[in-house]
Structure 1
Amino acid sequence: MTKMLVKSKKARPPRLEKPKKQYALHDCALYGLKGLGQLADRLQITSEELSALVEVRGGYSVWEQNGRVVQAARPLLRKIHARVATLLRRVASPNYRYSGVRDKSFISNAGQHIAPHASLKLDISKFYPSTSVHHVWKFFAHRMHCAHDVAAILAALCCFQKRHLPTGGVHSEVLAFYCHKGMLDALNERVLGRGGVMTVYVDDIVITMPGACASDLLWADRLISRARLTMNRRKSRVIGAMKEKLITGVRIYRGEIHAPAGQHRKVKLLHQAIATAADGEDVTSRIRSLQGHLDHIAQIDSKYLARARGHRAKNRRALLTSS
């Protein structure tokens, strides 16, 4: 029997909470801050630590992953980012927001678009790098009514090299959402007026409504441009009412949701790659990738749940045996 090499998995930082109790924006602990002492208290650090963080250089690790540059804060700064994210996640979100919200998921997000109408998929180019330090300052100064110097410090702490939201920031999703909420609200208002539905999942904006067409795409482009963002015109498109829709990793066809065919193909290929691995070859990444794809499929289609659980048990034994 071929012996496969399996490496142990590195520990990950704790996940952010999805709070049960939520409040209005004006009740957020970051709202209306007028001094640095207040800011330090709300961030749960000392004034000395705050001053040191403001002056710190090189507070990020940067690497390339799958063709994208990842900018992730180092532990002390990540703690601040996590605190900002936690406080903003406690603010009650509009109905159209589906990421980072309790009892909502990528599946329920896709499920909003099963109606037999055309859909618009809007892609914003480089969403986090396009959310500038000015966007962040404006949110804290104008929407959160913080003193301008406090807003400037918060923007500096939250942005990579005081330029834009970091691509790997734990706070980037929720903060980008609130920075651009005005634009998203305007989109949603028009969609509701047309008897449709809009959802936002991280940077995926999908609109399904009667009569959706190319002119609506142009209107969305203009609105996004006014927010100092750029819509990727190559990736943004209209999907016909009778066409297959792929939304946040879920396939929608004729009013039903399924796992994408690509997921099933990847499962088959990974099975083959693991089965044909050479003696002593490291298959750790393949085993984890296979389990990830099986879990994804099982979340969408419950008839695959037993298979995913069986493979998890089998993989767990393999990991323990090889450690």
Structure 2
Amino acid sequence: MARTLKLHESPLYRLTSKKKLAALFGVKVADIKFLRQLDSNYRVWPLKQKHQDVLAGMPVSDKVRMVQQPKPTLDAFQRRLAKLLGALEKPDYVYSATKRRSYLDNALVHRHSQPALKVDIRSFYPSVKRKAVKSFFVEQMKCAEDVAHVLSELCCHEGKLPTGSALSPVLSYFSCAPMFARIAALAGARGLKFTIYVDDMVFSGAGLDDDFLALVFNELNREGYAGHKVRFYKAKRPKVITGAVVWPSKVDVPHKRRLKMRLYERALKTAKSEDKVILGKALLGQYRESSRINPGFKVAASRLQRFVEDMTGRAKVAKPRKRPRGRSSYSLFLSRIARLRAEAAAAGAAVGSGAGA
């Protein structure tokens, strides 16, 4: 089991030149420069309602969420960087982008019979600006100014963290780490338990009141962030925290997820044969995820799996595709950057020969 690293133990620490940055990724400085100069490194689109949700008749949200997804070459670079950052040690209160920790672990911290307060950070990824990303590489990782400039450029889309990048969960934390440390100190001074899962902050303990909430909001505001979806939970009452309902003595699936499953179940009974497989697989995914919280859903998942197998005529339900073995994001980055440079060189040669003719 790989151990976590202190900041100063990371290969990213004290990168003093772009040459050393390129060497860390196994490429040349020209390759990094080429990657920065690509016309469009992102695919941007509005996130639409999933087809299975349409079939189930779920309400359509009026809010349009834009997704910025890095294209393959930049995605491979960002995944490599995410792996390097993911190896770094984080405080005990961080539960997102942390190995052997999950949203359920985060919720279970607050299952005791104490009041709780939940605060989300509004539009978190788009609110993390390139300045904060660069500051992380300069002030915490002690990178040279030009290295931090390049890294912040390759991590951001239009000056902010992209919503569809595998790098954003871990980098958003480190870019805001000083702010979260101050909030943790405020919580500790009142004897509160504090956890954070991406943009969800949860506090629990007897010292909660409106004055504490104001202190948290002040810390967010001074860094350019805004808190919203504030929820106070009374002592000994169920708390809905990061996808789970927790009581002092048990944990269960939230009402919202149960309602979604009921809509799937109802639609599955009357759906056309071609839609039954779509709804069946979607519902099976919901059952399996819910069984992590409530083992009782394992029985329903087992029955539904047999139904889907009969519908598809296959031995087992297809699982999400995994990256082929031996093809890490690192090697993919190397091969893709080499291919793109070769294509650019070939295109330039063709233009030159055409001009000569």
- TM-score norm. by structure 1 comes to 0.87
The equivalent position to 1:58 in structure 2, one of 18, 40, 64, is 40
Say whether the 8 Å CA contact 1:32–1:146 is kept in structure 2.
yes
Task: Give the superposed CA RMSD.
Answer: 1.9
> Paired residue for 2:190?
194
1:23 is displaced (CA, Å) by: 0.8
> Paired residue for 1:275?
269
Partner-residue secondary structure (3-state), 1:137: helix
Q: 1:194 to 1:269 in 2, by over 3 A?
A: same
Say whether the 8 Å CA contact 2:236–2:248 is kept in structure 1.
yes
Partner-residue secondary structure (3-state), 1:53: helix
> Paired residue for 1:289?
282
Gaps of 5+ in 2: 49-63, 319-357
* Residue 45 (str. 1) matches residue 31 (str. 2): no
Say whether the 8 Å CA contact 2:114–2:204 is kept in structure 1.
yes
> Paired residue for 2:59?
none
CA offsets, 1:216-249, max 9 Å, x none? 11110001112221222xx123222243311011
> Paired residue for 1:105?
102
- Matches of 1:123 and 1:282, distance apart in 2: 36
Quick check: 256-265 or 112-121, which moved more?
256-265
Matches for 1:83-122 after TM superposition, within 5 Å: 83-122=80-119
Partner-residue secondary structure (3-state), 1:282: helix
Quick check: 133-142 or 222-231, which moved more?
222-231
Aligned residues: 301
User: Partner letter of residue 64 of structure 1?
Assistant: P
1:128 is displaced (CA, Å) by: 0.5
Structure (1 or 2) with the larger CA radius of gyration: 2
- Matches of 1:151 and 1:28, distance apart in 2: 15
Say whether the 8 Å CA contact 1:63–1:69 is kept in structure 2.
yes
CA offsets, 1:251-295, max 9 Å, x none? 12354211112322322221221121135x434442232012111
Partner-residue secondary structure (3-state), 1:302: coil
Quick check: 305-314 or 265-274, which moved more?
305-314
Matches for 1:8-87 after TM superposition, within 5 Å: 20-66=2-48, 67-87=64-84
Say whether the 8 Å CA contact 2:277–2:311 is kept in structure 1.
no
The equivalent position to 1:241 in structure 2, one of 218, 235, 238, is 235
Say whether the 8 Å CA contact 2:112–2:247 is kept in structure 1.
no
The equivalent position to 1:303 in structure 2, one of 296, 315, 318, is 296
User: Partner letter of residue 253 of structure 2?
Assistant: A
Gaps of 5+ in 1: 1-18
The equivalent position to 1:314 in structure 2, one of 307, 321, 325, is 307
Matches for 1:124-135 after TM superposition, within 5 Å: 124-135=121-132
1:36 is displaced (CA, Å) by: 1.0
Q: 1:68 to 1:284 in 2, by over 3 A?
A: farther
Partner-residue secondary structure (3-state), 2:246: strand
Identity %: 29
1:87 is displaced (CA, Å) by: 0.2
Greater per-residue helix proportion: 2
> Paired residue for 1:264?
258
CA offsets, 1:169-198, max 9 Å, x none? 100010010010111111112222322211
Quick check: 164-173 or 201-210, which moved more?
201-210
